[in-house]
Structure 1
Amino acid sequence: MQPPRERIVVKARAGWMGMGRGAESTALGFFQILRVFLCIFPTATSQCKILKCNSEFWTATSGAHYLGSEDTPEFCTALRAYAHCTRRTARTCRGDLAYHSAVHGIEDLMSQHNCSKDGPTTQPRLRTLPPVDPQERSDSPEICHYEKSFHKHSAPPNYTHCGLFGDPHLRTFTDRFQTCKVQGAWPLIDNNYLNVQVTNTPVLPGSAATATSKLTIIFKSFQECVEQKVYQAEMDELPAAFADGSKNGGDKHGANSLKITEKVSGQHVEIQAKYIGTTIVVRQVGRYLTFAVRMPEEVVNAVEDRDGQGLYLCLRGCPLSQQIDFRAFHAAESRGPHRPGPSLPASAPPAAFTYEMATAKCREKLPVEDLYFQSCVFDLLTTGDVNFTLAAYYAFEDVKSLHSDKDRLHLYERTRDLAGGATCSGPSWAPLLALGALAGSWASVGL
């Protein structure tokens, strides 16, 4: 008997072969099968990018009327772009079932629509749907506007900020600044409205330095506003759409209270979740990702499990065992370059900076010698990767745009009156064992 995934692909192949010759049946059949694969294979390996090809084709054709004969040229253009995308990833997708099914599906559709393999591959300009009656949907339901619903009869909400960048460095919702190890998958945010999980991987073999290589954000279904949406980014893949190819909250009346906007292609994405008053900024800087969020305190603290409330990094900070002491790092600096201290990796990076070179480089982007500046110096000394200078710079730019208290943008290390480390000493992490329970919730959505 065939394994489940293989049976699905065989059925999909049969669906391709059994579709009628009419444009309407073939296109509708294709979209149904594409939906199946986007759901069955929610994640792809970092090498095979077939889901990116699927998502791009789905985005280019959904919402447009490609079923009539006059639209065949545009549909063929989209198919050629789809085929070109699959060819680019062919080498790394040889054993991927979704890839092979997509290739055969493209061939069948191109044949049935008499599409030439030669021709333009530029994505067609999307045809917009007829305008909606402005009296009907000029505004989403009031419940989908945070400031109108949550704070209808009270003072304006108090917004707070969390950011993760570099080696990685964490600024919590309570303005604590930490440098942490946290290798592997960790919950960054986990409340009643959304989950954010990051995966950190070693920057260099044999080094304790890690950086964020993958980010997953789950927006939970909320009343008549949004359906559950999953956003995933990883190294060299920063999509401008959710995993299903959509750019908003789905088919509910208040769907536009959740939107993705691409600011810089492949480098900068912003997600607005107005129904919870939240703005998320995701960037790729060099090979790695940065994360920043602006969120109301009321949403930050909306956690059902009060006993283990906020067992996530943005609220509670990193476990003490995972924190790196900045003071020990400063002491290591005085010993000179490439002499390992308590917080430096055992092996120096190939193109390592001296302390003087690192400070000079960081000062080009960060003239104020606060903790963002210190994190930049730390990253250059531990990794030798100049892109971490930009990571610190953009992290501070995001703070300037997202933090509600402009007087607290810069954070400075207080080394004299601390007994146990840097400014990042946090509460006891004895309840950390409860994090195991979170694994079940991530597994339930296929992470």
Structure 2
Amino acid sequence: MSIVYLLLYVILLFLEPINPCRVEECAAWFQKTKDYENLVPKATERYCQVLQTYLKCMNDTQKFCHGNLRFHSSELVMRRHWKEFECEKWESCNENQMGLKKKPVNTCYFNPPPSSRKLKYCSLFGDPHLIMFNGSIQTCSEEGARPLVDNRYFLVQVTNKNVRGEALTTTVTKVTVLIRKHNCSSSLHYEATSDEEGLPRGFVDGTTYQAKGSSSNSVEVLWQDNNYVEIALHFIHSSIHIRRQGPYLSVSVKAPSIVLETEGDVANEMCWAGCRRRSRIAAETAVEEPKKFAECYRRRVHVPKKVAEDRCRNVGTSGTFFDACIFDLMFTGDDYLVHLSRNAQSDFRRLAPHHFQSQIIQQRVRQQQEHNRNLPLNSTQVFDNCLPNSSSFSKSITNCSALLAIFLILIPIL
């Protein structure tokens, strides 16, 4: 058996993992548990329990590991242990003592806890502003429904609407969450809309949690108050956070990278692909050139920049969230969006991994420096795709009317 262990060690040492095959993650959890509990490979109930969880982890990732020698070698050794130590007897013993039937094959097993480096974070808030999984920050004016995150475990879809009747002013008015059927959960549906008095306390079917094969809930709605709800997917160490301020919603998603990986196309997911190019707004330039921005897109400057800066600084926003707060307040005058930026910052600091927070801060500094160097202060055309102003529109109508009149005069002659 020592030769087999040596061979396995050499294989694990020299082979690189092939994502999204989770063989390395399963092995790391197994080794960490053994070290923490001082477990040694022998015929004990506890070792068999840990071994069973390890084999289930391997089984869940099997379809991604075809051709991965590390996976097949590890699974072979552990299945030999299962047979050698007669781990089946511990299952039978527990079932007889508790009067339980034989466990089904699709028993719920929680994924091994991920390292902080493997956690990803995405957030959509305000007018709206998007923080993507890769750390990119965008402001856009998208309308309609679009998936924020979509994978084999859950879907988060957002609906953006123009709620003020001004061009390029959209906010999140609906958040739909679908928990997909899994060993640890049945299909669940959560829906929040901004026109309701508060956020729902549970799923659409009235349930607030799901418990399958574990002493703790695999999925649950953690209702904090009318304006804040967390949907926790404990079995995959993921969470969805929904906030409400007046007629506006915001949503944040935190999940391990292995959960977010999908075999499908992510081009339509906002957290991966970002806003559609035609809907993106140069928010930094808009704040520096509010008059030109307002003229270009027929927007109003509701609050002067200095007043907006003071207000956003007073509520405690900083960095990316300070920029978002200023933009929203200047061009909407709505204090609800100020509080939404502050709450988004609070969630970011509490939920986003430290390395991701550092990445956002550094990126924001670089973008600000680049923006200051390239800002076309003397340019008359700062923004693209400007909307026609009323005077040019009237002029066009006049020209069209004149041409039509000439055409009608010439008809009898022709």
TM-score under structure 2 length normalisation: 0.59
Identical pairs, percent: 26
Q: How do 1:350-369 residues align onto structure 2 when only pairs under 5 Å count?
A: 352-366=302-316, 368=318
Please name the residue that 1:257 is paired with.
Answer: 218
One of 353, 358, 368 as aligned partner of 1:407: 358
Please name the residue that 1:231 is paired with.
Answer: 190
User: Any stretches of 5+ residues in structure 1 without a counterpart?
Assistant: 1-132, 422-447
Alpha-carbon distance between aligned partners in 1 of 2:240 and 2:324, rounded to the nearest angstrom: 22
C-alpha contact (below 8 Å) 2:192/2:200 kept by paired residues = yes
- Matched AA of 2:192: A
- Write out per-residue CA displacement over residues 320-373 of structure 1, whole angstroms, 9 at most, x where no aligned residue: 11110124313423x48xx7154xx51427xx21111111110112353x1210
Q: Which has the higher helix share?
A: 2
**Structure 1 counterpart SS, 2:294:** coil
C-alpha contact (below 8 Å) 1:329/1:341 kept by paired residues = no
C-alpha contact (below 8 Å) 2:317/2:325 kept by paired residues = no
- Matched AA of 1:219: I
One of 294, 311, 315 as aligned partner of 1:340: 294
How much does 1:403 deviate?
Answer: 0.6
Alpha-carbon distance between aligned partners in 1 of 2:348 and 2:185, rounded to the nearest angstrom: 27
Alpha-carbon distance between aligned partners in 2 of 1:162 and 1:299, rounded to the nearest angstrom: 14
How much does 1:283 deviate?
Answer: 0.8
Alpha-carbon distance between aligned partners in 2 of 1:144 and 1:402, rounded to the nearest angstrom: 24
Alpha-carbon distance between aligned partners in 2 of 1:232 and 1:366, rounded to the nearest angstrom: 30
C-alpha contact (below 8 Å) 1:268/1:281 kept by paired residues = yes
Cα 1:393–1:156 shift into 2, 3 Å = closer
Please name the residue that 1:8 is paired with.
Answer: none
C-alpha contact (below 8 Å) 2:220/2:231 kept by paired residues = yes
Alpha-carbon distance between aligned partners in 1 of 2:125 and 2:98, rounded to the nearest angstrom: 42
Alpha-carbon distance between aligned partners in 1 of 2:107 and 2:309, rounded to the nearest angstrom: 50
Alpha-carbon distance between aligned partners in 2 of 1:165 and 1:276, rounded to the nearest angstrom: 25
How much does 1:207 deviate?
Answer: 2.8
Cα 1:420–1:219 shift into 2, 3 Å = farther
- Write out per-residue CA displacement over residues 207-248 of structure 1, whole angstroms, 9 at most, x where no aligned residue: 32111110100010112x100101000012410100000011
- Write out per-residue CA displacement over residues 73-131 of structure 1, whole angstroms, 9 at most, x where no aligned residue: xxxxxxxxxxxxxxxxxxxxxxxxxxxxxxxxxxxxxxxxxxxxxxxxxxxxxxxxxxx
Alpha-carbon distance between aligned partners in 1 of 2:192 and 2:117, rounded to the nearest angstrom: 30
TM-score under structure 1 length normalisation: 0.55
Please name the residue that 2:206 is paired with.
Answer: 245
**Structure 2 counterpart SS, 1:372:** helix
**Structure 1 counterpart SS, 2:138:** strand
User: Any stretches of 5+ residues in structure 2 without a counterpart?
Assistant: 1-96, 101-105, 376-414
How much does 1:300 deviate?
Answer: 1.6
C-alpha contact (below 8 Å) 2:120/2:353 kept by paired residues = yes
Cα 1:263–1:298 shift into 2, 3 Å = same
Please name the residue that 2:266 is paired with.
Answer: 309
C-alpha contact (below 8 Å) 2:287/2:326 kept by paired residues = no
